[in-house]
Chains A and B, each alone.
Chain A
Amino acid sequence: MTLTSSRWQEATAPLWRDNMALAQLLGLCPLLAVTTTVVNGLALGLASAAVVIVASTTMAALQRALKPAARLPIALLILAGLVTVVDLFTAAVFYDLHGALGIFLPLIVVNSGLLAHAENVASRRSVAFTFLSALATGLGFLLAFIALGAVRELVGHGSLLTGIELLAGDGYRGLTLELPYGGMLVAILPPGAFFGMGVLLAVRSHLTSKRAARDERITAGTSR
């Protein structure tokens, strides 16, 4: 099954234009809670992305068979199974990281953004479209996690990628960047999560409004 270019654009919109966290403001609870460092954000972002891709694609494959009333419980069943497997895998392979993510890894099950995707897209669109859209959703969410994690770690700790060895192995310890700056405590406290999020939203809205204005000029120029 091929996708036309407008379909392609629509399916990849969740990457940036309809970014789940930055545009739809869904799934903010784990985002704000774990992004004290880039590595924590990266880990939870990867787990969420993997889960949404498998769950939504499975739901899309089942869409014709399922009674609408049964969709939500079945989506939850798939999500709960996947998340439990991911949780056990993380505890077995990335034990220290598992400790840092705490309750937010199991809570991916009830991430409103993932549920919204499994419900809205996977119940209407083809399997290929859903897969692509889930991929974009997952990567978009990952992007938000990394961006907020980077802002808060830089401002709060004065470092970047601390703890990368927990995820990638001891060989990658050298990727950690330490700035000669002690860090500003507030950035890693909960209020800092909201400040950081506010800054990201402002940047995103600035970028999109500029683009929208340009698009408008182009349309105006061609139609008159």
Chain B
Amino acid sequence: MAGGEGNALLTALAAVVLGAAAVYAVRAAHDWSDERIAANERARVVARLNSVLEPALRGRDLTTTVLAVTDEALLGTGEPVDVFVLTDRGAPMATVFASVAPHGYNAAIDLLIGVAPIGTVTGVRAVRHRETKGLGDAIDIARSDWMLQFETKALTSPPPERWAIVQDEGEFDAISGATVTSRAVVAAVKNTLLYFEQHRDELYTRAAEAAAAAETNEP
């Protein structure tokens, strides 16, 4: 049973009706899912924030203030980067940078880097990356412990010139078969520490101001 030659008017009508139905369906799906997707994203960020804090702070009820800062040289992107300042009754306890390692093997690597007030790294995680499966994806904590070597490191230990992988006469192990990836992550962590060193007081002041402003807005 051949479908015949069709009808121009019916075709136009079908296109209009289906177009409207598609718009309506997508709109409804968007309205339904918007809040849920945002909640999923927030939950992921909170869970991830916890993962780069020092163990004693995990799960504690800290006030989190989100700042946006831009520094292409040190934070890896020309776009504003989220910086989470976690305080306990006004006292800064930790700072978490959503830094970018711009020279990943396949694309930029999005990182979360936790820094204690004294400038030591409390944790590093890859939040989003496109490193090669089975090689560079060892930066993913689900695949290997490679990221753990940054914990307790600071710009004083090892000294800045030793912040490199072993192949470049530094102190950090490289992932075998993924030298480019390893270099990119080590450089990003070092640069974030440099940024923190230069802007620590400014970040804490801005966070305190933002927290105070949020408090006066409360009814």
Residue positions of A touching B, CB distance < 8 A: 36, 58, 62-68, 70, 73-74, 77-78, 80-82, 84-85, 88-89, 91-93, 95, 123-124, 126, 156, 185, 188-189
B40–A92 CB distance below 8 A: yes
What A residues does B40 contact at CB under 8 A? 91-92, 95
Given that A65-B11, A74-B14 are contacting pairs, would A91 and B26 also be in contact in the complex, using a CB cutoff of 8 Å? no
Residue of B23, B36, B134 with most chain A CB atoms under a 10 A cut-off = B134
Taking CB as reference atom, which chain A residue is nearest B43?
A95
Residue positions of B touching A, CB distance < 8 A: 1-8, 10-11, 13-15, 18-19, 21-23, 25-26, 29-30, 32-33, 36-37, 40-41, 44, 132-134
- The listed residue (A66, A70, A80, A123) touching B22 by CB distance below 8 A is A80
What A residues does B26 contact at CB under 8 A? 81, 84-85, 88
Inter-chain contact total with CB atoms closer than 8 Å: 87
A77–B22 CB distance below 8 A: yes
A67–B29 CB distance below 8 A: no
List 15 A-B pairs, Cβ < 8 Å: A65-B14, A66-B6, A67-B11, A77-B15, A81-B22, A84-B26, A85-B26, A88-B30, A88-B33, A91-B37, A92-B37, A95-B37, A95-B40, A156-B134, A188-B134
C-alpha gap A80/B25 in the complex (Å)? 11
B18 to chain A, nearest CB (A): 6
B37–A123 CB distance below 8 A: no
Given that A81-B25, A85-B29 are contacting pairs, would A126 and B1 also be in contact in the complex, using a CB cutoff of 8 Å? yes
A74–B18 CB distance below 8 A: yes
C-alpha gap A189/B134 in the complex (Å)? 7
C-alpha gap A139/B70 in the complex (Å)? 49
A65–B36 CB distance below 8 A: no
B46 to chain A, nearest CB (A): 13
What A residues does B32 contact at CB under 8 A? 88, 92
A-B pairs, top 4 by smallest CB distance, nearest first, are: A81-B22, A92-B33, A65-B10, A92-B36
C-alpha gap A74/B22 in the complex (Å)? 11
C-alpha gap A156/B137 in the complex (Å)? 14
B15 to chain A, nearest CB (A): 6
Taking CB as reference atom, which chain B residue is nearest A125?
B1
